[in-house]
Each structure stands twice: as C-alpha cells, then as structure tokens.
Amino acid sequence: MATEVEVTVVTMRDIFQDEAGRKSRFSDEYRDQSAQIILDKQDLAKLGAKDGQKLRVLVKNDVGSVVVAAKTSEDNPHPGLAFMYNSPWSNQLVSDAVSESSIPGFKSIKAIVSAAEEKVTQISEIQARIKG
Amino acid sequence: MAICTGCSLLCEDIEAAEKDGALTHVKNLCRKGHGHFQAAFTERTVPMIDGEQVDLDRAITKAAEILKSAKSPLLYGWSNSTLEAQAVGIELAEKLGATIDDTSSSCQGILMERILSGKLPTCTLDDVRNYADTSIFWGSDPSSSHPRHLSRFSYYPRGEKRQKSYEEERTCIAVDVRKSATANLCPNYYFQVAPSGDAQFMEAILAVLEGKIPRVGDKKKMIGLGSILKKTEWGVIFAGLGMVYSLQEKMDLFEKLLARLNEITTFKVVPMVGHYNMRGFNELLLEKTGFINRVSFKDGKPAHGPEHSVVAAAKTCDAALIIGSDPFSALPFGTARALAKVPLIAIDPRRSLTTDGAKVVIPSALSGLEAGGTGVRMDGVKIKFEPIMKSDLPTDEQILTRIMEAI
Amino acid sequence: MVGAMEIYMLLPKTNCKKCGLDTCMAFAVGLLGREKKIDECTPLIEEKKYEAKLKKLREVMAPLENASETGLIIHPEKCFGCGNCVVACPVNVAAEPTRCGVGLGPQSDKVILKVEDGIVVCGNLEECRRFGPNKTLCNACTATCPSKAIEFV
C-alpha cells in the first residue's frame, strides 16, 4: 500500500490564484493555481517525491477527496502541516458539521495524503459531485 | 476618479476610462483590482431558466414565483452588492418571511459583531495612517488579500503625526501560521503561531505584559514583543480570518487582550473584511433587526441564531436566492450539496459554479464598473461611487425591486 | 541574480588586459556594473575554445540586458501592484507629497514608479538616486516589495 501522511490543511489566499478565479472559475489557469497542496519537505519525501520531481497526490478525509499537485514548502519545517489555497478544491474537504460558532473549519482540515496516479481533479468533476 | 470594488479597501484614486468596450492604461489598480475589473469582459451571465436562455422579464417572473411558493426561502450573499441593493434585499426577506444571511456568517461575523457593538475599540484607516506607530497583522496577509493596505494606510504612507513613517516611526508585526508575503516585509517582527494556537499566543502576550514568563514562543522574542507593545503610542491590530477561525468561541480572550493593552496605551482593531461591502450589510441589518447576520423573518419578528446561518439554513430551506456570491465554490461541500437540491436563483454579473447549478440566472451590472451606489469600507467609512462604463444591464437593486414587485 | 564571481568563472582568466582593464576580475565587475560589454573581451569572442563559456556568459547576462540605466529590473509577472514602492520611493514622495506621500497613486508624469494595469512601471530614471556618477544606493523600492518583483543589478 502507498505511504500515507496525516496532515492538517490550513487554507490561505494567493493574489495570482485570486486573479485567475476572478477572470474565470473554469479556466485551466484557475485549476492549475488552485489544485495544489503545499507540503513540508520531509512529508513530501515520505510520499516518494525525489528532488525536483513533480508529484500528484490524493488528499482525502471523511468529507471527500481531491487529486492535486504537491509543492514543496519554502517555509521553515512544518511536518504534519499543509497549505492549500481557498478554492472549490479545498472546500471538497471542509466539513459542514460546525461547532457552536457555526463557522466551518476552513483553516483546520484533517486529511490523509498519498501519492496518486490519477489526473488532477477537474472543476467539472467537482460540479458533478455537488449536483449529486 | 473611480472607485475599485475589488476588496474592502474601496480605493478611491483609480483612473480608468472605457475605450471601445475595454479598459486600458488603468492607473493605480492593484493586480487584484485589475483582475476584478477585467473580469467584466469574460464569462458574463445571460438570463436563464433551467439552462435555457430566456429574456430578462421571464427570468425575473420565474424567480418571483419560486420565492413566493417557497415556505422557508433563504436569501444569501450580499457582500458584493451596494447598500442600496442590500436595503431592498432586507425588505424582500421581511416580505417573504425568509431567512437572510451574508458571507460574514462563515467569515468575519463573530469579530464584526464585537466591533459594531463597541466591545472592541476600533478606528478608521485614515486614523491609522495619521497616528499609528505599531500595526499588527494577526492572521491576516494584506499583501495578498488587500494589496494596497500597507501602502495606503498601515505601513508606508506619511501621516499627520507620522511624517517619518516606515523609515523611523512605524513598526509592523506579523502573527501568522506561515511566513506570508506580508511577514516577509517585517521579518524581524514575524511571530509564528501553531495552527489554532492564537489563543495561547494571546495568553503569552498577557503574561509578558504582567512581567511573567510566557508559556509559548521564544521567551526573549516574546519579552521583546511586550516592550514594543508597551512603548507603542497608538497601535492597531488588523484581525484576519486566521485569528477569527482559530479563536471561534474564545473571542472573549481577544477582548481581554485589547482591554489590557488599552490600560497601557491606545490600541484599536480593524477587521480585515474581504468583500467590498460585507460591513455595509452587517451595519444595515443591525440597524433594522439588532443582528448583523443570520436572521429569520419567518414569524414576522426577526429571529437570530446559528440555525439561521447559511451552513444550517442550506439544509432546511426549500428555495434560495444567491446574490453576488459563489457558495458552491466558497462554502463546504455539504453546504453546496444541500443548496444544489433546492431551486436556486442566482443574481450575478459573472458565471460561477453557483450560476451553473441555478434554476434561474439573472445577470446584473458589476458594481463600481457598470453600476453606481454606496459601499462601506472595512473600517466603516461610507464610500459612494459612480459607474465607469455605460451598461444596459440592470443593477442588483433594480432586479430585487422588480422581484419584490412581482411577489 | 548573477554575481561578479560567477561572471569571472566564465571569462578566460588570463588577465590579458585587451579590454583595457588590468584583470579579468575587474572586467567581471565592469560587466556587472554595466560599464563594460561582453564584446570588449576579444579573446572570448574570437577564440573557439571559449565558445561554451561565451554562450553561458550571454545566458547569465541576459537578464541584465533588460535592466534600465540605474540597474532597475521589474519582473511584471511577480508584481502584486500593491504600490509599496510607489509610496516608499523618496523621489516619488518629493514629486507628489500630497499623493504618493500619503499613500495615493501619482497624477503627474514626474514620478519614477507608478502602477498601471495592475503592475508597476518605471520612467524618469534620470531622477533616481542610483542614476549618474553621484549615485547613492537607495533601496526603498526593493526593500518594500512583498514579492521580489523589483531588483537592482
């Protein structure tokens, strides 16, 4: 079985991804900018990524799953902590079971990451899942 | 001068003129604002019912029918509409006995409540430019989310009492889980917190202010932070989603921290509101109902509570009107899924995941570019704007008025 | 950005003085400061054994070709359009104290830096403090950039 890494995903904003989303939510540019997860170097190595090698990963939890591109973090080491840009991709993993404040846990998503063979999840697939 | 509605800074110094249906050589718009206005030229919506293009009148009639026959409709979005449109929206909710909620509900709501009720001291961004010597970006990264925040108000401009500005008189501090673009501009004053560690970090500040040893963080650095705070003449904390999401039920601790800081010196809070008129909606609804969001008019009298938040109401409503927002993209999967099961009316200038899933789509003019009106900046300053371009598209206000008339 | 040592390693390292300077290291510094041109090193151009070095040198020097008279390079693809540099630049502030000085975009054409179509552009470089023989190493625009979209070479 492929190696799995447990992470807490914190979502964040990025000006280039935001710009792409304003122009079109359906463009390849928006998909490429959004469908990414930024992982700690060691976590990425555990998943089998060699230096400079591009890796696609499956990020899943009880809510859902997405296949996204994995990127190395340039910050100080943060094993177990991952970052995604706020997007339909990250929201596939956010639970609507909320605490007292009724705010979804957009910045504390528990998920499991493993290397993936599949293509990056497309916006049309996300739309189909929402439609059910 | 034009106004940019790309974020809640509502920058007022934009020079833009239309030429042959396009905007070129636009001055002073940041990358985000530029993307916002360029968006007017791609992926525009047309009136639709069940995926078929119809004329505007039919779409409006259909929308009114859906809302009229619904037992518990939800009206959601609002933070990208003018105050004028929001006022009609609240009236519509009252008339329908509907639930009304805005994006603040899963965003800055719990902070905004405390700002608008006076529990947290606040100020304008012009005050910040004129007086602030310490700006703390806490769980916020304005360089990415509000690109001109630092250059217009919080770090680089000269102000009445801050003629030497960033070079000598202003200190910027970033508190974040990651080294953001903003943190890169003040690397010596970047304080990294653990995810959900903001409450602990507040306790640590309170400890160093009492001369005690902090439990978290580098002790020397924390004591250094304590002395910066004590020496501050006029400070401001720009509270972002990072802080709000991390604190949730512990917002009282933030109030405690501000109360303590204000015993020592002056410290204010400015909420880092995202959409250009979220605060406008919150202020308006507060004035009309006593609550900033999550209101139901089902029993005539406004009722407020978490059961009327979009996340909860999505599961109990039997129709929804979504205006200027894309919950299918921005809210949790389960909420999008629940909304997709009821007849949806989407009023939006642009195609989105939500308009794709809506039963009725009504195109509207893009505020700031094609429609005028009033917005409320993140700090509560009202800003009026005129459209930059001529457009035949109806405004949100006109659409809502017509729907109301048809009910 | 490329450094003098990296450039030096791509030179003949013979100190032949044909370029008018005493050493190849001095020539490397001259190239970096854009006071010298690659073509002035005639052995590098003429002798076949330096062919690979010449090719590499042209590659590493390419970004500098786009630099302005003051060595200012703007990477538009990295720029946020935030205007930090517009407001921090001392020449901008002196030219428009009631606009750039207080955080607003400039109105006149007297400034060096301004934001157009979401991205910073430069002009009037002769006004820059890095221009000419009496230059000072002002770095207000690069130090305030959140994305390293501006640099000096």
pLDDT score of B17: 81
Give yes or no for residue A98 having a pLDDT over 90: no
DSSP B177: S
ipTM: 0.95
B271–chain A Cβ distance below 8 A for any pair: no
How far is the C-alpha of B305 from the C-alpha of B292, rounded, in Å? 11
Q: Which domains does chain A have, with CATH numbers?
A: 4-131 (2.40.40.20)
Q: In terms of CA atoms, which chain B residue is nearest residue C142?
A: B185
Contact B353 A15 (CB under 8 A): no
Place of tokens 């000072």: C136
What average pLDDT score do residues C120-125 get?
Answer: 91
| Residue B304 contacts residue B298 (beta carbons within 8 Å) | no
To the nearest whole Å, the CA of B195 is away from the closest chain C CA by: 23
Q: In terms of CA atoms, which chain B residue is nearest residue C117?
A: B26
| Residue B88 contacts residue B255 (beta carbons within 8 Å) | no
How far is the C-alpha of B368 from the C-alpha of B234, rounded, in Å? 34
CA–CA–CA angle B369, B371, B377 (5° rounding): 75
* End-to-end Cα spacing for chain B: 39
Contact B151 C147 (CB under 8 A): no
Could you tell me which chains touch chain A, where touching means 3 or more CB pairs under 8 A?
B
| Residue C80 contacts residue A15 (beta carbons within 8 Å) | yes
Domain ranges of chain C: 4-65, 72-152
A6–chain B Cβ distance below 8 A for any pair: no
Phi first, then psi: give them for residue B177, nearest 5 degrees: -80, -15
Domain ranges of chain B: 45-105+276-406, 109-271
To the nearest whole Å, the CA of A105 is away from the closest chain B CA by: 7
Residues of B in contact with C115 (CB under 8 A): 27-30
pLDDT score of C1: 56
Contact C101 B156 (CB under 8 A): no
Pairing of strands B73-77, B319-323: parallel
Phi first, then psi: give them for residue B384, nearest 5 degrees: -90, 145
What average pLDDT score do residues C14-27 get?
Answer: 91
Residues of C in contact with B32 (CB under 8 A): 80-81, 118
C4-65 topology per CATH:
3-methyladenine DNA Glycosylase II; Chain A, domain 3 (1.10.15)
Of B271, B264, B6, nearest to B124 (Cα)? B271
Could you tell me which chains touch chain C, where touching means 3 or more CB pairs under 8 A?
B
Give yes or no for residue C133 having a pLDDT over 80: no
Contact B129 C103 (CB under 8 A): yes
Contact B34 C118 (CB under 8 A): yes
B71–chain C Cβ distance below 8 A for any pair: no
Residue C34's pLDDT band (cuts 50, 70, 90): confident
Residues of A in contact with B355 (CB under 8 A): none
Phi first, then psi: give them for residue C56, nearest 5 degrees: -65, -40
Which of A23, A26, A104 is closest, CB to CB, to B39? A23
How far is the C-alpha of B241 from the C-alpha of B255, rounded, in Å? 16
What average pLDDT score do residues C37-66 get?
Answer: 86
Residue A52's pLDDT band (cuts 50, 70, 90): low
pLDDT score of C125: 86
Higher pLDDT, B128 or A1: B128
Q: In terms of CA atoms, which chain B residue is nearest residue A88?
A: B329
For domain B109-271, give the CATH number: 3.40.228.10
Q: Along the 407 residues of chain B, how does pLDDT read in single tens digits?
A: 899 999 999 999 999 888 887 888 899 999 999 999 998 888 999 999 999 999 999 999 999 999 999 999 999 999 999 999 999 999 999 999 999 999 999 999 999 999 999 999 999 999 999 999 999 999 999 999 999 999 999 999 999 999 999 999 999 999 999 999 999 999 999 999 999 999 999 999 999 999 999 988 889 999 999 999 999 999 999 999 999 999 988 999 999 999 999 999 999 999 999 999 999 999 999 999 999 999 999 998 999 999 999 999 999 999 999 999 999 999 999 999 999 999 999 999 999 999 999 999 999 999 999 999 999 999 999 999 999 998 999 999 999 999 999 99
Touching B: A residues 55-84, CB under 8 Å: 63-64, 75-76, 78, 81, 83
- Torsion angle in degrees (nearest 10) through CA of B40, B44, B47, B52: 180
pLDDT score of C65: 67
B275–chain C Cβ distance below 8 A for any pair: no
B97–chain C Cβ distance below 8 A for any pair: no
Residue A1's pLDDT band (cuts 50, 70, 90): low
Residue B168 CB: number of other CB atoms within 10 A?
9
Report CA torsion sign: C71, C75, C80, C81: positive
Question: Cβ contacts of residue B80 below 8 Å, gap of 6+?
Answer: B5, B275, B276, B277, B323, B324, B325, B367
Give yes or no for residue C68 having a pLDDT over 80: no
Residues of A in contact with B309 (CB under 8 A): 98, 102
Token pair belonging to B163: 């003629």
Token pair belonging to B250: 């512990």
Contact B158 C101 (CB under 8 A): yes
B158–chain C Cβ distance below 8 A for any pair: yes
Residues of A in contact with B106 (CB under 8 A): 102-104, 106
Question: Cβ contacts of residue A92 below 8 Å, gap of 6+?
Answer: A63, A64, A65, A66, A121, A126, A129, B333
Residues of B in contact with C123 (CB under 8 A): none
Question: B45-105+276-406 architecture in CATH?
Answer: 3-Layer(aba) Sandwich (3.40)
DSSP B44: B
How far is the C-alpha of A86 from the C-alpha of B329, rounded, in Å? 9
| Residue A63 contacts residue A93 (beta carbons within 8 Å) | yes
Token pair belonging to C152: 């000096």
Q: In terms of CA atoms, which chain A residue is nearest residue B309?
A: A102
The one-letter amino acid at B75? L
What average pLDDT score do residues C68-77 get?
Answer: 84
Token pair belonging to B156: 């680089």
Contact A96 B352 (CB under 8 A): no
